[in-house]
Structure 1
């Protein structure tokens, strides 16, 4: 780590864990998918979130995240798009409740796998909290005089992605397991899904109204 100019790596890991432990759009999406479609869907969501983190890490390494954050118009557009997307997902969950309430968790095909993965990726990429974390936090752990800044950012991004994948996979497994015991009761499953859909909408509105 030192050869790349990375400093205070332990503190970096702690910050990553705290970010993942803070409930947000990514966590809501993973829990929502796990509740609605089971652990496999939750794990696919975790993979999609991780892919989004890899994109953030790459953009951060080459300075593109900084350009986005310094443009008020661009940052506002990302924030509104992220909020609108969460509201859209929440409404879809609410509208599908009555039709799905009496059914078991649906079997996922290849097309469903792709949809879950892509939606999770978009949720992460359009999350301003993650953008700001990469922009404001990562530079604090890379020496200004490091000759390998891009490599250092990419390495930190890889560590961030691995920790995020482990944390989110655990979240998906826990949510999916808890819901599995309730899936035999259509009424309980119905209200669980409705609660998650409402949470998506609330998160989307909160994200869109958050000040820059």
Structure 2
């Protein structure tokens, strides 16, 4: 069984993923603002199913071959560190877009299409793939028991964190967007907080050793 301390650290990493600007957050914000909470929740259901797809890929070891090739782990970890630092820079660089400036020109879609768009937005999101491939192996140890069970445990933690944050975003999307528009200084606070979390995770990943 994975130690609670490791699960808490993994939960922080998952939190860093979900609060960083990306296709999932932008899509959920846009849908919630333009089409209402119900549309946002349907889209969120699709996003969660997308996470399940990624988790099953890892849990059934479909990506394990990447870690049997010499230097593959180091290359992948380096790519993950660079990507996290890139996300941090994107959040604070001059002229960067506020994540709460979601699109408001989207047409009204059916529930089925909302679900499919949420699903494929997540499945095709490279940030999620990098997260799973970079972080899962660092928290999984044969000494903790079944690798499959450990993968599912990490996946459940990640989904719980992501769902909670995104659920809150969907419920208060319009209100939060208006609040940030009226209080621009807090946009900078939000960006620097996000960048700090991502940079910290990148540093932690960089100094981790392969198992």
Q: TM-score, normalization: structure 1?
A: 0.60
Residue matched to 1:156: 154
Residue matched to 1:17: 15
Which residues in structure 2 correspond to 1:116-131 (within 5 Å)? Answer: 116-131=114-129
| C-alpha separation in 2, matches of 1:32 and 1:67 | 38
Deviation at 1:113, TM superposition (A): 1.2
Aligned residue-pair number: 145
| C-alpha separation in 2, matches of 1:119 and 1:38 | 16
Per mean C-alpha deviation after superposition, the further-off stretch among 153-162 and 116-125 is: 153-162
| C-alpha separation in 2, matches of 1:179 and 1:8 | 34
| C-alpha separation in 2, matches of 1:26 and 1:142 | 26
| C-alpha separation in 2, matches of 1:60 and 1:6 | 21
Does the CA-based 8 Å contact 1:38-1:179 persist in structure 2? Answer: no
Does the CA-based 8 Å contact 1:57-1:157 persist in structure 2? Answer: yes
Deviation at 1:116, TM superposition (A): 0.4
Q: Is there any run of 5+ residues in structure 2 with no aligned partner, and where?
A: 73-102, 179-211
Q: Is there any run of 5+ residues in structure 1 with no aligned partner, and where?
A: 71-92, 101-105, 181-212
Does the CA-based 8 Å contact 1:50-1:121 persist in structure 2? Answer: yes
Of 58, 61, 64, the match for 1:60: 58
| C-alpha separation in 2, matches of 1:132 and 1:27 | 17
Query: C-alpha root-mean-square deviation of aligned residues, in Å?
Result: 2.9
| C-alpha separation in 1, matches of 2:25 and 2:5 | 29
Distance 1:68 1:124, change over 3 A: farther
Distance 1:65 1:34, change over 3 A: farther
Which residues in structure 2 correspond to 1:35-114 (within 5 Å)? Answer: 35-66=33-64, 112-114=110-112
- Say which SS state the counterpart of residue 166 (structure 1) adopts: helix
Following TM superposition, where does structure 1 have runs of at least 4 consecutive aligned residues deviating by more than 3 angstroms? 65-70, 144-147, 176-180
| C-alpha separation in 2, matches of 1:67 and 1:118 | 29
Distance 1:49 1:65, change over 3 A: farther
Distance 1:67 1:119, change over 3 A: farther
Does the CA-based 8 Å contact 1:42-1:176 persist in structure 2? Answer: no
Residue matched to 1:138: 136
Deviations 1:146-166 (A, max 9, x none): 440001101111111121111
